[in-house]
Structures are given as structure tokens and as C-alpha cells.
Amino acid sequence: MSPCRVFLVDDHALFRAGVKAELANLGDERIEVVGEAGSVNEAIVRIGADPPDVVLLDVHMPDGGGRAVLDQLHPTLPGVVFLALSVSDAAEDVINVIRGGARGYVTKTISGRELADAIVRVAAGDAVFSPRLAGFVLDAFSDKPSAASVSDPELDLLSPREREVLRLLARGYTYKEIAAELFISVKTVETHASSVLRKTQMSNRHALSRWATERRLV
Amino acid sequence: MSSSEILRTPDGMVALVRPLDGRVLAGVAAGVATHLRLPVGVVRVAFVVLSLMAGAGVVAYALLWIFVPQVQSDGPVAGAGTGAVAGAAGAALPRAAAPAERRQAIGIATLGVAILIAALALGLGRYMGVLVAPLAVVAIGGAFIWREADETRRERWRRTAAGFARPGRAALWRIVGGITLVIGGLAVFAVGQLDFAAARSALIAVLLTLVGVAVITVPWLARLVRDLGAERRERIRQRERAEVAAHLHDSVLQTLALIQRQSADPREVQRLARSQERELRAWLYGPAGYASEARAADGAGAAGGWTEAWTEAWVAAWVGGESDGWPGGESTDGLPGNDGGTPRTTSYSAGSQTPSQPCPQTLAAALAQVSGEVEDAYAITIEPVVVGDAPMTPHLAALVAAAREAMVNAAKHAGVQEVSVYGEVESGAASVFVRDRGSGFDPAAVSPDRRGLAESIRGRMQRHGGTAQVRSSPGSGTEIVLSVPVSADTVSADAAD
């Protein structure tokens, strides 16, 4: 299997260098950093010219940030997977990039090993939930008495199993630990996570967007 | 004009002087043109037009000639003295005006004289001074205003006046139209006065004049108002910047200085960085933080918003936690296992729960606060994730205090750098999960008299009608699950409204 081709987008050159060094030091042959960009426009041009497998996308950049890159590239390059990487943790940013098409969200404090695992996982088509993202999604889909805003139960509600998986993700469990906890296969956990991600991206649930803009969590 | 040795007024305008080069008669027109940044031809026409009005232009020229100092430019002086005063219109001194320019000047003057003769021939001589009085009044009034204005206002006027004097295409048409209306209005006024016609013509005259003045001045005034708005915005922005700078100075810069001094101690560096990060996050994204819209409203009311009862409950929970909590000696620790935990630091003691730290109002805030304290005390990373929220009650205070003990246990005994904390308020219960991937232990092997786990966590939860579960086995980490019931109406309805 050829290595996963990774492209870095971050306006801080120091951070790009740090991630590159960290990924290189792991000696992980599953991952190869093939390029980097320091601005939204540069990213759009370079990724469009030579699409990588996974784009590590900074959320906060001048000229629209990660969302601008996603809006430009995601519709035209469905084969490229975006993994958002940020220091922000503000709910609206997190939900915003996920709804823009990112397959996962991790914070910049993540260790190199975990980052590599997350890259491989999104490259394989899975979703990557940090505990915080899982918490945000749970909160956004909470069963508060707001039934009027549920227009499409298929998209606007989480199944009990999905809720359970999300709760364990928020508690810091890995997919493997969740599988063991719930007596299901890792594949099933991945399916649930992807389904939650799809709902987060597609749901027109009124509460979701409003929740994300109103809530400013640390 | 020579570019060097240019005298300037304090605010950067070219000073009003009579230059030697570029002049035709005495250099007055050239000097005025340079001062006002206008084409010299315009100034000459203005002088001629003024001269037609009972000779006002001639008087003005003469006065300026007398009072405005002459300046010696550094142009070639070789030609000096070759031509003395040569005729009325030209003075061949160093680098006088170019022939074409001089011809133009003479042309303008000749035209003026021709108009004067024609007007006199037509018997209009006595009307030619009609504009002098109003113009003089306007000029004197303007001079007064100018003297009274302060520097910044003058500067702004000058900027707008420059745009006024060098207008764009649209502005040019506007000014031409306005001037036509003013002149037309004045003409009607003059004619009406002469003919002693009915008041109607006077009314029309005034109306036309007003419309003309409005067309000329309204955009200009509008720009003045806009400038004022821009200035106010800039002032607000500067205040914001100052606030950010002050905050960064007090927090980030101080921490960076500390980190540099402690650079030999990685744990201390991590602790400082982590605590600074938390503080900055709270400031940036927190409910009362820099970016929050409610900041201004919250600022004053926050301190008084907490109830006395809750504050007491909080303090009681802490004091209780310290008295019946972990004694601190390794032998009596509730959890067996590695003894490599951090020794108790001075900051982790009853005394550190100073009243200066505000009591958090909700479960999420309280969990964030205790996580921060444990992070600070033990130099580990704790990321609390909270779903749903509820206002604090004594039961929840006990829950938070027990969760804190669980975090401290994990920090001291698990031997890991990271502890996961997840809190949720759902379906009538508030739960907190404290999890680490550390060394773990066998819960059955803990003797029942170990007070930390038994008292600080289990006992406290039971006293408040809750439960505490410990899930752990050697080598696979520990998870402590704490839960207390909450009445449904106290749960803050996040998405309910």
C-alpha cells in the first residue's frame, strides 16, 4: 500500500515545520508529507494542481480560514479528505469546518502519534472525533424540548447507539475501546461515527447552526 | 519651482512666498498657486476677475506684493541683471516664467482689460462692484473661523478643500452647476432689485441661490461628517488595541518571562504554558471573555450574581474535601500502585482556595475551574468536555469536589500526562467521568479503610444521594464514574427556548 500523501495548510510556518518534523520523526511509512501552503489562495492553487490524499487544514487563517479552502476545493475534489487542525476549540469554528466538509477535527496539542493515526483513519474514509468535538455534537443534537426544529428525523436525530458511541468518544475512548465496551466490532463503531459526522454535516436542524453561533465554549 | 529649500508651514503646506522663478510680474500669482496647490492660470484668472469688481483684485495683488516675502530660489542666477523691469507684464529676472506661460498671463490680463473697457462702454461700470461687499464679508468670516479652529480641524478642512479644488468628473459638474445657479440667483436678485419687481422674483432668486449653495456644499459637509465618524471608529479601535496589548502584557508576556527563567524544568514549563493557555482561552472564548458579546453587560453584574448560599456550599465542600480527603502520606493513600506521584505542592492546599477566585455558577464552569487547578498543581493536561449544563447546587458542588479528588488521584498515581474528564447533565442526572490510561489498580484490593476513595469520593457522593463507580484493572487505566440526581427544572435549557 502506497503511503498516504499529506498536505499541510497553516499560516504559521513554524507550526508547519513542527508538524512535518514530528511526522517525519515517527518514521511512519504510512504517511508522506507532499506539500504545504501558508495561505488560503496558495492552498487552493497547490492542492488543485496536485491533489493529495489528506489535507491537514488550519481553521484560523486570513482570507476566510479553513472554511474558505473547503468551500473552494471540497465540491471539485471529492477524493481529497480534509482533517481540521486548530487551537481554537470554539464551538462555532468546530461545527463550521465539519459542516464545510472536513472529516474530522483535532486540536493542535495532539501528539504526533495520535495525529498520524488520525490521518490514516480519515484517509481510510472514517471520521475522527476529538473528545471535544464529540461533546459539541452531543450538545448540538441534545434531546432538549425543541421538537419543532426537527424536520427530518433521519438527519436531525441521533440513534441511541450513535449517542452511546459519541458519549464514549467524549469520555476519551478510542474506537477499539468503544468496540470492547459495547461488544461490537471496530468497523461498526466506525460506521456509527461516520453516520454522526454525516448528520452533523447535512442536518438542517435549526438548533445546530444557532447553537454553534450562540455558544462560545472554552 | 525649485524642489529644494521649500519653506513649509507647520502643517506641511508650502509656505506662501513670492518665488523668483516662474513669475511674470511680482510672483504673487505663482506663490499663491504653489501655496494652494492650484494651477497658476486659475489664480491669475481669479485675480483678473476680482480686478473687474471695482478693482478688488488689483488691491489684493498689491497687498500680497507688499506683505508676502520674496524668496531667492537656488535656480540659476546667471541671468540676473540682464533684463531690468521689462514692460508691465514681464520681469526678466532669473528663470522667469516660460515664454508660453508669460504669453498666457499677458493674455489673461489683456482679456480682463478688454472686458473692463467693454463693460464701461456699455455703461455697466457701476454694477461691477456689486459682488465685492458679499465676497469681503465671506472672506472675513472665513478668516475668523480659520483662526478659531484647532489644528486637526484645519488639517481636515485642508484635505477636503484639496478634493474640492481638484474635483473628479462628477464633482466638477456639480460645482459648475452649483456656481451657475448661484450666479443666476444673484443675477435675478440684482435684476429684480433694479426693476423693483414683485417679491416673487426675489423669492426665486433666494431659492436658486440656496439650491446652488446646497449643491456645492452638501457633499463637502457630508464628507466632514463622515470623517468625524471615521475618526470616532479609529478611536474605538485604538482603545480595543490598547486593551488587548495590556492583557497580553499582563498575562502572556509575564508567563513567557517565567518560562524562560524556568526553562531547565520541563514540568514547570508545561504547567506555566498550560495555565496560560487556559487563561487566554477563557479570555478569548469564555462566556465573559474578550470576544463575547455579553462582556460589557456581564462585567459589573457577575460578581454580585452568585447567591450567598451557593458560595457557602462551595466553601463547605472544599473545606470538607480537605479535611476528610487525602491525608497526603504515601502509606495512607487510597490507591495503591506507583508512589512516583508528584509530592503535594504548596499551591494545593486549603489555603489556595482563596476567595479571590470567583465561584463558578454552572457545572461546566466549576469543572473547568477544578480541572485547571489540578492541572496547575500536578503539571498534567486535563481537557474537560461538558455536555449540557446546570446551575450549581450543593449536590453538584459535591459532585465537582469528588471529581476533583478523582482527578488528583489520576494525576498522582496513574503516571500519565493526560486525564480525560467528561461531564454531562441529562435525563435527571449529572454525571462526571474521570478517566486515565495509566497504571490502573484492582479495586477489590483496596482496603475499605483507605479514606481517599472511600470518603472523598464514595462517601461524599452517597451523602448527596449519588453514586460512585470505579472501573479499573492493573495496566488498563482507571475510570471513575460519578453521578448525582438533578431536578429537571434546574437543568438549563440550552436548546429549549
Rounded CA separation B367/B383 (Å): 10
The confidence score (pLDDT) of residue B482 equals 92
pLDDT, one tens digit for every residue, chain B (497 residues): 444 455 666 556 677 788 777 777 778 888 888 877 778 888 888 888 888 777 778 888 888 888 887 776 544 433 333 333 333 334 444 555 677 778 888 888 888 888 888 877 877 666 666 666 666 767 776 776 666 565 666 666 666 555 555 556 666 777 777 777 777 777 766 665 555 556 666 677 778 888 878 877 777 788 888 888 888 889 898 888 888 888 887 788 888 888 888 888 888 888 888 888 888 887 877 665 555 544 443 333 333 333 444 444 444 444 444 433 333 333 333 333 333 333 333 333 333 333 345 677 888 888 888 888 888 888 888 888 888 888 888 888 889 989 998 898 888 888 888 888 999 887 788 999 998 888 888 777 766 656 667 777 888 888 888 888 888 878 778 889 999 988 755 444 443 33
Domain boundary among B224, B242, B261: B261
Residues B19 and B165 placed together within one structural domain of the fold: no
Q: How many A×B Cβ pairs under 8 Å?
A: 71
Nearest to A211 by CA among A105, A138, A140, A132: A140
Domain boundary among A102, A125, A148: A125
Residues B113 and B48 placed together within one structural domain of the fold: yes
Indicate which CATH number applies to the domain containing B448.
Answer: 3.30.565.10
Tell me which of A158-172, A190-204, B89-103, B442-456 is least confident: B89-103
Residues A112 and A4 placed together within one structural domain of the fold: yes
Residues A147 and A200 placed together within one structural domain of the fold: yes
Residues B238 and B372 placed together within one structural domain of the fold: no
Contact call for B422 and A207, based on CB within 8 A: no
Q: Does A49 touch chain B (CB under 8 A)?
A: no
Domain boundary among B118, B148, B178: B148
Residues whose CB is less than 8 angstroms from the CB of residue A45 and which lie 6 or more positions away in sequence, other chains included: A37
Closest-CA distance, A205 to chain B, in angstroms, reads 11
List pLDDT tens digits, range B432-475.
999 888 888 877 776 665 666 777 788 888 888 888 888 887 87
Q: Does B381 touch chain A (CB under 8 A)?
A: yes
Closest-CA distance, B277 to chain A, in angstroms, reads 10
CB atoms within 10 A of CB A147: 9
**Chain B hits for A144, Cβ within 8 Å:** 493-496
Contact call for B285 and A135, based on CB within 8 A: no
Residues B421 and B464 placed together within one structural domain of the fold: yes
Residues A57 and A148 placed together within one structural domain of the fold: no
Angle among Cα A177, A180, A186 to the nearest 5 degrees reads 75
The confidence score (pLDDT) of residue B146 equals 65
The confidence score (pLDDT) of residue B422 equals 92
Residues B144 and B163 placed together within one structural domain of the fold: no
Q: How far is CA A35 from CA A47, A83, A107, B136, B229, in A?
A: 9, 15, 21, 73, 46
**A144, A145, A171: residue with CB nearest B435:** A171
ipTM field:
0.80
Indicate which CATH number applies to the domain containing A28.
Answer: 3.40.50.2300
Nearest to B302 by CA among B312, B291, B321, B289: B289
Residues A114 and A190 placed together within one structural domain of the fold: no
Highest mean pLDDT among A22-31, A117-126, B214-223: A117-126
Closest-CA distance, A34 to chain B, in angstroms, reads 31
Asked if B159 and B166 count as a contact pair (C-beta separation under 8 A), the reply is no
Chain B, 39-98: which have a CB under 8 Å from a chain A CB?
none
Residues B197 and B66 placed together within one structural domain of the fold: no
Position B350: which residue type? A
**B281, B388, B422: residue with CB nearest A171:** B422
Contact call for A218 and B281, based on CB within 8 A: yes
The confidence score (pLDDT) of residue B132 equals 67
The confidence score (pLDDT) of residue B81 equals 37
Residues B238 and B369 placed together within one structural domain of the fold: no
Residues A85 and A160 placed together within one structural domain of the fold: no
Domain boundary among B148, B165, B197: B148
Q: Is residue B251 part of a domain?
A: yes
- State the residue range of the domain holding B208: 149-261
- State the residue range of the domain holding A204: 129-218
Q: How far is CA B211 from CA B173, B190, B192, in A?
A: 15, 17, 18
Q: Does A206 touch chain B (CB under 8 A)?
A: no
Rounded CA separation B83/B103 (Å): 17
Asked if B89 and B102 count as a contact pair (C-beta separation under 8 A), the reply is yes
Structural domains in chain A (count): 2
Nearest to B405 by CA among B332, B454, B439: B454
Residues A108 and A57 placed together within one structural domain of the fold: yes
Q: Does A8 touch chain B (CB under 8 A)?
A: no
Residues whose CB is less than 8 angstroms from the CB of residue B409 and which lie 6 or more positions away in sequence, other chains included: B334, B335, B452, B453, B478, B480
Rounded CA separation A169/A177 (Å): 9
**Chain B hits for A167, Cβ within 8 Å:** 387, 422, 424
Say whether A201 sits in a helix, a strand or coil: helix
Residues B58 and B136 placed together within one structural domain of the fold: yes
Q: Is residue B288 part of a domain?
A: no
The grid coordinates of residue B324 equal: 476528610
Q: Is residue B300 part of a domain?
A: no
Asked if B429 and B486 count as a contact pair (C-beta separation under 8 A), the reply is yes
Q: Does B388 touch chain A (CB under 8 A)?
A: yes
Residues A172 and A140 placed together within one structural domain of the fold: yes
Residues B331 and B438 placed together within one structural domain of the fold: yes
Q: Does A176 touch chain B (CB under 8 A)?
A: no
Q: Is residue B383 part of a domain?
A: yes
Rounded CA separation B464/B393 (Å): 11
Q: Is residue B496 part of a domain?
A: no
Asked if B31 and B38 count as a contact pair (C-beta separation under 8 A), the reply is no
Asked if A110 and A118 count as a contact pair (C-beta separation under 8 A), the reply is yes
Backbone φ, ψ for residue B383 (5° rounding): -110, 95
**B287, B420, B426: residue with CB nearest A131:** B420
Of all residues in chain A, the one with the smallest CA distance to B284 is: A218
Residues B323 and B449 placed together within one structural domain of the fold: yes
Q: Does B387 touch chain A (CB under 8 A)?
A: yes
The confidence score (pLDDT) of residue B323 equals 38
The confidence score (pLDDT) of residue B168 equals 62
Residues A170 and A189 placed together within one structural domain of the fold: yes
The confidence score (pLDDT) of residue A82 equals 92
Asked if B192 and B201 count as a contact pair (C-beta separation under 8 A), the reply is yes
Q: How far is CA A105 from CA B90, B199, B383, in A?
A: 82, 80, 15
**A144, A171, A218: residue with CB nearest B286:** A218
Nearest to B335 by CA among B434, B248, B418: B434
Chain B, 411-470: which have a CB under 8 Å from a chain A CB?
420, 422, 424, 426, 433, 435
End-to-end CA distance of chain A: 40
Closest-CA distance, B290 to chain A, in angstroms, reads 11
Q: Does A207 touch chain B (CB under 8 A)?
A: yes
- Max CA distance (Å), chain A: 52
Contact call for A90 and B387, based on CB within 8 A: no
The confidence score (pLDDT) of residue B433 equals 92
Structural domains in chain B (count): 3
Of all residues in chain A, the one with the smallest CA distance to B387 is: A139
Of all residues in chain A, the one with the smallest CA distance to B420 is: A172
Residues A211 and A135 placed together within one structural domain of the fold: yes
Nearest to A136 by CA among A192, A57, A216, A67: A216
Nearest to A209 by CA among A92, A105, A69: A92
The confidence score (pLDDT) of residue A203 equals 74
Residues B16 and B41 placed together within one structural domain of the fold: yes
* Cα dihedral: A82, A169, A106, B414 (round 10): -150
Contact call for A217 and B285, based on CB within 8 A: yes
**Chain B hits for A143, Cβ within 8 Å:** 426
Contact call for A142 and B479, based on CB within 8 A: no
Tell me the percentage of chain A whose pLDDT exceeds 90: 12
Residues A55 and A161 placed together within one structural domain of the fold: no
CB atoms within 10 A of CB B99: 9
Closest-CA distance, A216 to chain B, in angstroms, reads 6
Indicate which CATH number applies to the domain containing A194.
Answer: 1.10.10.10
Contact call for B494 and A139, based on CB within 8 A: yes
Q: What is the DSSP string of B352-416?
A: GS-TTSPPPSBHHHHHHHHHHHHHHHHT-EEEEEEES--B--HHHHHHHHHHHHHHHHIIIII--
Chain A, 129-168: which have a CB under 8 Å from a chain B CB?
131-132, 134-135, 138-139, 142-146, 149, 167
Rounded CA separation A207/A64 (Å): 24
Say whether B464 sits in a helix, a strand or coil: coil
Residues B154 and B126 placed together within one structural domain of the fold: no
**A135, A143, A149: residue with CB nearest B385:** A135
Residues A51 and A88 placed together within one structural domain of the fold: yes
Closest-CA distance, A214 to chain B, in angstroms, reads 10
Q: Does A60 touch chain B (CB under 8 A)?
A: no
Residues A100 and A156 placed together within one structural domain of the fold: no
Of all residues in chain A, the one with the smallest CA distance to B492 is: A144
**Chain A hits for B289, Cβ within 8 Å:** 216, 218
